[in-house]
Amino acid sequence: MKSDTPDCQQNMTDSDKSDTALVGHARIQAYLKTLDGSPGVYRMLDAESRVLYVGKARNLRARVSNYARPSGHSARIARMISETASMMFLTTRTETEALLLEQNLIKQLKPRYNVLLRDDKSFPNILISGDHTYPMIRKHRGAKSAKGSYYGPFASAGAVNRTLNQLQKVFLLRNCTDATFDARTRPCLLYQIKRCAAPCVGKINAQDYGALVGDAQRFLQGKTTRVQAELAIEMQKASDEMEFERAAALRDRIRALTTVQSAQGINPRGVDEADVIGLHMEGGQACVQVFFIRANQNWGNRDFYPRTGGAESPAEVLQAFITQFYDTKDPAKRLILSHDIEDKDLVAEALGGKLGRKVEVLVPQRGEKAELVSGAVRNARESLARKMSESATQAKLLRGLAEAFDLPAPPARIEVYDNSHIQGTDAVGGMIVAGPEGFLKSQYRKYNIRGDSITPGDDFGMMKEVLTRRFQRLLKEDPDRETEAWPDLLLIDGGAGQVSAVAEIMADLGVEDVPFIGVAKGIDRDAGKEEFHRIGARPFALRHNDPVLYFVQRLRDEAHRFAIGTHRAKRSKSVSRNPLDDIDGVGATRKRALLAHFGSAKAVARANLADLEAVDGISKSLAQKIYDHLQDR
């Protein structure tokens, strides 16, 4: 919801402008005369107009009057009140609207005193396409814009890949793109290893393939026993008719389905669809575990570590997590929680409106649902313990890094850069990020090297392009360095030459206060003999068994892995690129017509002008353009 919609009335009154010197509860008290009992959202701001806290209220006057009291607050709330220099208000028609608006503002403004969900990645789904005679099954992430049936969410790419692998064994559905499907002239390897029915070359007709698709959909809807029973009937029928090869194929599919079911022994019996959410808090930190139950199957779990002030109640943390988590995701029809929340009915109403059907919010005390919650809480407790241990180790390493490299303080954000290419082709630059919480993979960035003036294989030129693009963007988006996006340390893969080049680049950009270190292989290029280079200082090394050395090696190796992986993906894409894609006037329809007529892109390239003109939809002038383009290649 946006604050400028007709459903909301904005009131940014800075009551009694003459009272601007007031802060704390006295300043808040001054607003009470301007407020009524409407529902809405309030913002508390400090003396520099930075948002401290965003909250929603059923009755704005009643809620704000609580903050106006000089005593009776927790240490966290008292500290927040003492920093409050002004407030802003937005009235809404209903409390549900206020709840939705509150969470939008929290995500946008990231106030210091709110519980904040920091990990907001989307979850993968399985898509069975609906715009082809022979539907494709594949992993899908992001907006559900493609036609077809979606099943999910799955907790991770690994969880969805395992399920897809099982589905291929059992239902033999294709996973190739439509272009690959249209260009096939013989079955691929998946047909040979019994993972695909090969509809691309007519090994199965549309009706029988449609039956496989229906079986897969029923499986993903939880109707596995029905699918298995139907396969058993088909197998017996094939056996009775002495179609032993078909019977054996059906037997193999039944075995694969049985394996799937036995591997999913942790599936709940009485819960068909739910998100099971367990919270554990310890030492001022929180971990939330979410288990996704769909079609009576456990589709994996994920842990989240919301930012807290350390003094919030479990109910406050859990409610903030739920409302922010489902801002961009569809909830299950049932949420099973480890702790009760303050506005359970209100949250259920808001989520139900988003989903278009009733959403139930439960806090079970006994039975299978309580066992599911207990398992989620146990996982949350174990995950938080591991994270706290890793954080303590990471903090010690960062302190050691600061000491070894003469940094003013342990770095909160380290950026590590590396390039990858083969003799200058498909060149990419990679940036990885690490900090107190380890590797921050959501912050990783890849840079396709596009400088026309760069000589193939020029590592200095590539590094200059990457750093220039990175810091020009930082200077444009955050010139005052108010966010955490600015690095405290750069690690560069290279020696004195690379360090000198980086110094020149940073000086040209006017960024001369970000320290950087060159990490070069030492004698014989052996790991453990690395030399470190800084401007104006002699190269130095760390002790062979120094934990800080191992830490730097891990950072460098992660940057190398990321850069190589990005380069390979780019190279693979360029290798598999169809030459027809580069011809103006040849869209998807004409490309399919050419591939269907000739069988492959190579055959199109070998065709003469007359053969090209014979293809439906290819005019004489377009045939000449295609012929000239392919001959030039």
Mean pLDDT per 10-residue segment, the chain (633 residues) = 44 46 83 91 93 94 92 88 94 92 91 85 89 92 88 86 83 89 88 90 92 86 72 81 76 68 58 93 91 87 89 91 90 94 92 90 92 93 88 90 91 89 67 90 84 63 84 86 86 86 87 88 64 87 86 89 77 60 76 77 80 84 82 67
Cα dihedral 455, 456, 461, 462, rounded to 10, equals 150
CATH at residue 443:
3.30.420.340
Which H/E stretch holds residue 418? strand 414-422
Residue 79 and residue 198 share a domain? no
CA nearest 89: which of 32, 17, 46? 32
Rounded-to-integer distance, Cα 179 and Cα 200, Å: 11
Give a yes or no: residue 84 inside a domain.
Answer: yes
Which H/E stretch holds residue 416? strand 414-422
Could you please report the per-residue DSSP string of 7-44?
TEEEE---S-GGGTT--THHHHHTTGGG--S--EEEEE
Residue 283 and residue 255 share a domain? no
Report the pLDDT value the prediction gives residue 264, as an integer from 0 to 100: 47
Tokens at 171, concatenated: 């239902």
Rounded-to-integer distance, Cα 623 and Cα 344, Å: 65
Q: Quick count: other Cβ atoms within 10 Å of Cβ 399?
A: 15
Tokens at 607, concatenated: 């065709």
- φ/ψ of residue 478, rounded to 5: -145, 65
Task: Give the strand pairing for 297-304 and 516-520.
Answer: unpaired
Domain that holds residue 594: 579-632
Residue 313 and residue 193 share a domain? no
Contact 360, 335 (CB under 8 A): yes
Rounded-to-integer distance, Cα 194 and Cα 172, Å: 7
Residue 339 and residue 423 share a domain? no
What residue ranges in 423-488 does DSSP mark as E strands? 425-435, 438-439, 445-448
- The runs of H, that is alpha helices, within 577-607 are 588-598, 601-606
Q: Is 135 helix (H, G, I), strand (E, B) or coil?
A: coil
Buried b / exposed e over 22-42, threshold 16 CB at 10 Å, is bbbbebbbbbeebbeebbbbb
Give a yes or no: residue 116 inside a domain.
Answer: no
Rounded-to-integer distance, Cα 351 and Cα 357, Å: 9
Give a yes or no: residue 100 inside a domain.
Answer: yes
Q: DSSP letter for 540, please.
A: B
Cα dihedral 215, 218, 224, 226, rounded to 10, equals -70
Residue finishing a domain among 528, 559, 574: 574
Contact 198, 185 (CB under 8 A): no
Report the pLDDT value the prediction gives residue 4, as an integer from 0 to 100: 42
Cα dihedral 325, 330, 336, 338, rounded to 10, equals 0
Q: Is 268 helix (H, G, I), strand (E, B) or coil?
A: coil
Contact 300, 159 (CB under 8 A): yes
Rounded-to-integer distance, Cα 96 and Cα 347, Å: 8
Give a yes or no: residue 566 inside a domain.
Answer: yes
CA nearest 405: which of 553, 552, 556, 555? 552
Residue 373 and residue 233 share a domain? no
Q: DSSP letter for 299, please.
A: E
Q: Is 49 helix (H, G, I), strand (E, B) or coil?
A: coil
CA nearest 160: which of 195, 124, 192? 124
Residue 82 and residue 194 share a domain? no
Cα dihedral 303, 307, 308, 313, rounded to 10, equals -30
Q: Quick count: other Cβ atoms within 10 Å of Cβ 457?
A: 14
**Residue that is written with structure tokens 């029915």 in the block:** 197
Residue finishing a domain among 537, 558, 574: 574
Residue 444 and residue 348 share a domain? no
- φ/ψ of residue 259, rounded to 5: -60, -40
Report the pLDDT value the prediction gives residue 82, as an integer from 0 to 100: 93
Residue 568 and residue 554 share a domain? yes
Residue 141 and residue 99 share a domain? no
Check: pTM over 0.75? Answer yes or no.
no
Give a yes or no: residue 114 inside a domain.
Answer: no
**Residue that is written with structure tokens 């998100």 in the block:** 275
Residue 46 and residue 19 share a domain? yes
CA nearest 565: which of 450, 467, 418, 425? 418
Could you please report the per-residue DSSP string of 168-224?
HHHH----S-HHHHHH-SS--HHHHTTS---GGGTSS-HHHHHHHHHHHHHHHTT-H
Burial (CB count <10 Å: 0-12, 13-18, 19+), residue 576? exposed
Q: Which residues partner with 45 through β-bridges?
A: 51, 86
Give a yes or no: residue 12 inside a domain.
Answer: yes
Residue finishing a domain among 77, 109, 141: 109
Residue 186 and residue 38 share a domain? no
Q: DSSP letter for 330, please.
A: P
CATH at residue 29:
3.40.1440.10
H/E/C letters for each residue in 60-93?
HHHHHHHHHCCCCCCHHHHHHHHHCCEEEEEEEC
CATH at residue 591:
1.10.150.20
Q: Quick count: other Cβ atoms within 10 Å of Cβ 55?
A: 20
Residue 523 and residue 439 share a domain? yes
Tokens at 556, concatenated: 């460098």
Give a yes or no: residue 407 inside a domain.
Answer: no
Give a yes or no: residue 393 inside a domain.
Answer: no
**Residue that is written with structure tokens 């499986």 in the block:** 219
Count of structural domains, the chain: 5
Residue 153 preceded by cis peptide, ω within 30 = yes
